Structure 1
Amino acid sequence: MDKAFIKKYGTLLLLAAGAGIIFQLPYIRETFYVPIQEAMNLSNAQMGELSAGYATMATISYFIGGLVADKFSARKLLTFSFLATAVLGWWFSTFPSFNTARLIFVLMGVTTIITYWSAVIKATRMLGSSEEQGRLFGLQEGLRGVLNWLLVLGMTAVFVRFADQVVGTQWAIRVCAIAVGIIGILNWFVIEDTKAEENAESIKDVTLGMFKQLAFPRVWLLVAIVFFGYSLYGIFGYVNTLAINVYGLSAAGGATLGAFRYLIQAFGGIVGGFIADKIGSRLKVLIAGATLTGLSYGLFLVLPEDVALLGVVLGNFVGGMFAIYLIRSVYFAIIDDAGIPVSRTGRVSGIVSALGFLPDVFMYTMIGGWLDNNPGKSGFNMTFIYAIAMAVGCIVMSLILSRVIKRDKDLHNAVDTETVAAAAE
């Protein structure tokens, strides 16, 4: 087999493995929300505060991650990131006090972002040409889903082996922490040491250069698209809780559903990426995904509170989750559509990540309050109305960016035509 092919897709697999497994711990609520909530006796608002603490620190970390990555060895940074996150995950598995748990999640906002995320988007983009961006990002999302699925299946198998749900949850989290630690060790032996660039910009120049990107309207359109798209993804995690609390799904069934979503991620991510490259438009795939996701949330909104409808809820979960991963497969690939030079990918992706992922800072606390103050399905209905608004926003911003790209392309073609005509004279 061609060595270049092995290197290219081996690197992609490593990027997907890191991004998939390391984020399981700070987002553990997506699979074990109810068991963790009951084990620690937390309200929905407190569960949201844990996520908000992580997200607040992550937002800061997105901005500074690129600066750190330029100054230190990638091998050392990645190894530290995974091993430190594994230790924090094991600590959380002891179910400490709420304030201690908040500290753990804030620290994970450092260990999972600064030393990893800043490089992953640029590294993926640089693996192929402009025509390959959809499939590269889609394959990364898909591979990430497969690895997440296998990990969560293992965590769920451990969870159901214990009669005591608290002990089962503890050991499920510990399995995840062990997996993260193993990835850290592999990074130490597989990743080559990198040397600092001889002519690297100073931290001041890099920081100023990053903030200069805020002057470009396209960057703000990218921020808006990721903000709305990421909101749609984050809200879908509550469908698991809805199925348990309103439609009678068991806690073990909820954990299994949490694992199944990653299998959908694998399929949706790969399909979305390849379709985008086939039709030559990542934005069309994004718009289609946002439309289907909005319709899925609309169905959840109108479904009555009846345990007999659990099958419909689960079916809609599958369809909606597939649509969401169509969005996730391309919402960073559109950096290429927007005409952002590769040399500015790291800075732009840092800004887009920091501002686009802001829903993590406030959304879960807000939704947790809705669920606490509006028992039954009414709190979930408020959440779904908000989600539909996010879907509309994603569609509108995507259409605007599409118009901007088309306008600039037409202008460029017109200039080229005039230049040819002038040369002919």
Structure 2
Amino acid sequence: MKGKLRKNIPTLIILIIAGEMIYTLPYFRNYYYDVFLNAFQLTNTQMGTLGSAYGVCCLISYIFGGYVADRWKTKHLLSISLFATGILGFTLLLYPPYPVLLLIYAAWGITSIMTFWVALIKAVRSLASENEQGKAFGFFEGGRGAAKIIESALVLGLFAFLTKQLSDKLALTSVIIFYSVMCILLGFMIMLLYKEPGNNNSDELKEKSNKKFDWAILLRILKMPTTWLAAILILTSYAMINSFYYITPYATSAFGASTIIAAALGYFSQYCRPIGSFGSGIIGDRIGISNMVIIGYCVLAIGLAALIVLPGKPSFILLLLVFIAIIYISMYALQATHFAILVEGDYPVEITGTVAMPLMIIGYSGEIFMPIVAGACLDHWSGTDGYKVLFSILLGLTIVGLITAIIWQRVTKEKRKAIVLQKREMIAS
């Protein structure tokens, strides 16, 4: 890696770890479900409601996160979010009653999304030049996947050891302490390492970005066709990310996969994540991010089509694993381009939050409707037919995404030429 990104690698690593660790507290209950349930004396319904409280606040936070990100300094938002998330984690050590737990999970929806996520995207964008955005986000997404693998293995090992030596509850307490301390430490590290980017932009839109969040800028962004195209790209690819876990029960139902293989398929996605993200970032900067997006959609379409037509026989299980790997790798390759592609739309870093508002509201709406669509498919069509209908819908969305990416290239033709020219000048110098 050359240029601006190379100088900022230490900061990028901290942002990668922070981007993974801040979400461990809201979600770790799923990995230690029974222990968490017993320790906090909850019913299964109450356990599910904790996730709902977090999800509702996340949805609200997606709406206002862009405003917050462009209104206050990125460094302060990231650090405060990590501090607040860690402190809320420490309150779990009191093993509070259910109503207090609801408030904690609702608050996490704000600290991990509204004040953090868009600010994090803005920070990653600021660490790289225009012709390094693919690598920046490829390494960011791939790094988060690698961090997840390492973190989960270490914490699970710690939990297993302390469970044998002490008790389940004390082991759970140690997990909570570890995650909470890590969040607070990362908050301090970002405060020390991250430097706010300078504004050296020239055109009208970029000059207005000095005003931080500006409703006039938002209205202008909404009139830009690239904004709606980028939203569709996120929507069509994120729908797959919202639905890939249905592949596991499909493998069990159609191919007679054992419960062990089915469980392994869930973890397998995380091992494919670094491959797809790293590869997407490196290749994207060489051939153009939108070209990488087109390749990603094509590969994803091939994987989904193969999944639909592959005969459901145990003898085809290895071939099934190959196509699942293709789907996982292309899925995460596309995810790594969600915000890297903004450079081709000519959006300055300073207004990333404003741009992200419509992108996240539309793009991440799959979190709401895809589970409903999937459930309706499985309820209406019995056996494996329901899964195949669902995969067909995802294939249709993938094709829509592919068409959108082709249109994007036509709309952004001049900006993409400028990026190529800038890259050549950098190499020549």
Moved more, 291-300 or 395-404: 291-300
- The answer for the alignment partner of 2:301 in structure 1 is 294
**2:224 is matched with which residue: 216, 224, 228?**
216
* Structure 2 CA distance for aligned equivalents of residues 369 and 158 of structure 1: 40
- The answer for the alignment partner of 1:77 in structure 2 is 80
1:250 aligns with 2:253: no
**2:275 is matched with which residue: 267, 270, 282?**
267
- The answer for the alignment partner of 1:19 in structure 2 is 19
- The answer for the alignment partner of 2:187 in structure 1 is 187
1:334 aligns with 2:327: no
* Structure 2 CA distance for aligned equivalents of residues 332 and 212 of structure 1: 19
Moved more, 388-397 or 237-246: 237-246
Partner secondary structure for residue 128 of structure 2: coil
Cα separation, partners in 2 of 1:354 and 1:118, compared to 1, 3 Å: same
Cα separation, partners in 2 of 1:394 and 1:255, compared to 1, 3 Å: same
Q: Is the 8 A contact 1:269 1:326 kept in 2?
A: yes
Q: Is the 8 A contact 1:223 1:356 kept in 2?
A: yes
Cα separation, partners in 2 of 1:88 and 1:106, compared to 1, 3 Å: farther
Give the TM-score, by structure 1 length: 0.75
Partner secondary structure for residue 128 of structure 1: coil
- The answer for the alignment partner of 1:320 in structure 2 is 327
Cα separation, partners in 2 of 1:83 and 1:29, compared to 1, 3 Å: closer
Cα separation, partners in 2 of 1:158 and 1:194, compared to 1, 3 Å: closer
- 1:274 positional shift: 0.9
- The answer for the alignment partner of 2:239 in structure 1 is 231
Give the TM-score, by structure 2 length: 0.74
- 1:337 positional shift: 0.9
| Code of the aligned partner of 2:222 | L
| Code of the aligned partner of 1:132 | E
* Structure 2 CA distance for aligned equivalents of residues 100 and 244 of structure 1: 39
| Code of the aligned partner of 1:392 | I
| Code of the aligned partner of 2:327 | G
Partner secondary structure for residue 383 of structure 2: coil
**1:66 is matched with which residue: 51, 69, 83?**
69
- The answer for the alignment partner of 2:412 in structure 1 is 405
Cα separation, partners in 2 of 1:29 and 1:255, compared to 1, 3 Å: farther
* Structure 1 CA distance for aligned equivalents of residues 267 and 133 of structure 2: 27
Partner secondary structure for residue 115 of structure 2: coil
* Structure 1 CA distance for aligned equivalents of residues 139 and 306 of structure 2: 29
| Code of the aligned partner of 1:60 | I
Q: Is the 8 A contact 1:222 1:352 kept in 2?
A: yes
* Structure 2 CA distance for aligned equivalents of residues 173 and 317 of structure 1: 37
- The answer for the alignment partner of 1:132 in structure 2 is 132
| Code of the aligned partner of 1:250 | T
Cα separation, partners in 2 of 1:382 and 1:61, compared to 1, 3 Å: farther
| Code of the aligned partner of 1:148 | K
Moved more, 9-18 or 370-379: 370-379
- 1:161 positional shift: 8.7
How many residue pairs are counted as aligned between the two chains? 398
| Code of the aligned partner of 2:306 | L
Q: Is the 8 A contact 1:25 1:173 kept in 2?
A: no
Q: Is the 8 A contact 1:47 1:368 kept in 2?
A: no
- The answer for the alignment partner of 2:389 in structure 1 is 382
* Structure 2 CA distance for aligned equivalents of residues 106 and 302 of structure 1: 43
Deviations 1:40-81 (A, max 9, x none): 767xx9999678636523433434431564499346513334
Cα separation, partners in 2 of 1:283 and 1:116, compared to 1, 3 Å: same
* Structure 2 CA distance for aligned equivalents of residues 90 and 326 of structure 1: 38
Q: Is the 8 A contact 1:53 1:102 kept in 2?
A: no
Q: Is the 8 A contact 1:133 1:336 kept in 2?
A: yes
Q: Is the 8 A contact 2:155 2:175 kept in 1?
A: yes
Deviations 1:153-210 (A, max 9, x none): 34666798999xxx99997898488435413333235523999x9xx9889x634533
Deviations 1:336-392 (A, max 9, x none): 011223332232133322321111122223323433554532332232112111101
Partner secondary structure for residue 114 of structure 2: coil
Cα separation, partners in 2 of 1:385 and 1:211, compared to 1, 3 Å: same
Map 1:7-46 onto structure 2 (within 5 A): 8-24=8-24
Map 1:91-110 onto structure 2 (within 5 A): 106-110=106-110
**2:367 is matched with which residue: 360, 371, 383?**
360
- Unaligned regions of 5+ residues in structure 1, if any? 412-425
- The answer for the alignment partner of 2:284 in structure 1 is 276
| Code of the aligned partner of 1:223 | A
Deviations 1:272-322 (A, max 9, x none): 11111122x111111111111122122222234445544333332212111
- The answer for the alignment partner of 2:203 in structure 1 is none
- The answer for the alignment partner of 1:416 in structure 2 is none
* Structure 1 CA distance for aligned equivalents of residues 384 and 54 of structure 2: 22
| Code of the aligned partner of 2:109 | G
| Code of the aligned partner of 1:229 | S
- Unaligned regions of 5+ residues in structure 2, if any? 199-208, 419-429
Q: Is the 8 A contact 1:231 1:359 kept in 2?
A: yes
* Structure 2 CA distance for aligned equivalents of residues 320 and 206 of structure 1: 40
* Structure 1 CA distance for aligned equivalents of residues 252 and 89 of structure 2: 29
| Code of the aligned partner of 1:237 | Y
* Structure 1 CA distance for aligned equivalents of residues 235 and 34 of structure 2: 26
Map 1:197-212 onto structure 2 (within 5 A): 206-212=214-220
- 1:126 positional shift: 1.6
* Structure 2 CA distance for aligned equivalents of residues 332 and 201 of structure 1: 21
- The answer for the alignment partner of 2:424 in structure 1 is none
RMSD of Structure 2 on Structure 1 (CA)? 4.6
Moved more, 11-20 or 293-302: 293-302
- 1:393 positional shift: 1.3
State percent identity of aligned pairs.
22
| Code of the aligned partner of 1:233 | I
Cα separation, partners in 2 of 1:326 and 1:78, compared to 1, 3 Å: same
